[in-house]
Structure formats: structure tokens, C-alpha cells
Amino acid sequence: MDNTKTSGLTRRGLLGALAATAITAAPTFANAQGFLRGAGDIRRIAMYNGRTGETLDTIYWIEGEYIAEAVREINMHMRDWRTGEAVQMDLRTIDIMSGAARLMETTEPYLLLSGYRSPATNAMLGQRGAGVARESLHMRGQAADLRLRSRNISQMASAAAAFNAGGVGRYGGSNFVHMDCGPVRTWRG
């Protein structure tokens, strides 16, 4: 017989309580791989979308579990703003973004320049000669182009590359970093 009492807390209430009280040490570059493999108890992502004016700041993972409601919010935030189309973003990319922010010891929201791109949007940008890959991982929901005011692109790229978990592109002329969960590689655009 189970005499355990329930507290009546909802998952959302628990998230709020944890967010208010969580103090986590930022991982060092030496243990960056461990962070992506589950070393952190809480994962948070903060972004601002300059195209839509929307802000997102959410805890999306707690103790080994992704939070479905938060993931839906991330998917909507990272939608193709030109078409309004959203897809399931690959959470490995979100984990790289979150981990990089922790490594850089910043709580500043990323400025999201591009998340998901529909095939039509990707083709249109490619025709404009914007240096867009024909088979871009953006079309699979596996990439993000990001900027931070408080960090330069070298700092951002180094933090993302520390995870050895995907592609990292430095775009100095446009002042942004591309992060994805595809094959491990780096480049300058």
C-alpha cells in the first residue's frame, strides 16, 4: 500500500520553482561534451526574434526530460517568419545553443536571425546569392544563425565548437554564428 501524499504541484509550477532557485555552475570547455550528454540538471534557452519581435526565455529540459510545452514554444519561435511554417526543431541544435550560452557565462538572449527555413524560403534566399546552401540544415530544423551583443563571433563559435557535436560557421561580415547538429565541421563565411 502506498501512503505517499502528492504535493499538487504541476510540472509548470515545478519548472517555475526550479527556475527561481536553480544555481548551476557553467561547465568549462574541458567538460563540454559531458554537458551535452546530460550533465546539467536544467537546460534553458533565451532568444529574441528581431523579425517578429518575439522573446523566448524557457527551461526546456529538466533531469533528462525535455518539456513538451517548452519544446513547442521553441519550435514556434524558430519558425520560418516569412511563411509562418514551424517544424520540430532538432533538439540537439537547441542543446548546443544552450550549452554554448552556459560556456560563455551569459544569460543574454540570442538574437535569432534564422532558425527553420522552408524549402521555398531557402530557394528564394539562394537565388538572391546570399550564400545559402542548397541542402541547408535550416530546412530540416537542424540549424540556427545567431548573434549576441555581449560576445563576438569568435567567442560564440569557440563555445559551440567545444561540444564537437555539429557544424559551426563564423560569418564575420554579417556578424553571426551558424550552429547546427549536422556533421562536425567549421568554416568561415
**Which candidate, 170, 167, 16, 15, places its Cα nearest to that of 90?**
167
The structural domain count of the chain equals 1
Report CA 94 to chain centroid distance, whole Å. 3
Q: How far apart are the C-alpha atoms of 89 and 38, rounded to whole Å?
A: 19
- Supply the range of the domain harboring residue 73: 11-20+31-188
Lowest mean pLDDT among 28-37, 103-112, 178-187: 28-37
Work out the average pLDDT over 122-133. Answer: 82
SS3 174: coil
Is 158 or 4 the better-scoring residue by pLDDT?
158
Decide if 26 is inside a domain.
no
Lowest mean pLDDT among 10-14, 113-117, 118-122, 159-163: 10-14
Decide if 6 is inside a domain.
no
Compute the chain's Rg from CA coordinates: 17
CATH code for the domain of 61? 3.30.1380.10
Neighbours of 134 (CB within 10 A): 8
Kindly report the pTM of this predicted structure.
0.80
Decide if 134 is inside a domain.
yes
Query: What are the tens digits of pLDDT across the range 148-176?
Result: 999 999 999 999 999 999 999 999 999 99
Q: How far apart are the C-alpha atoms of 75 and 57, rounded to whole Å?
A: 13
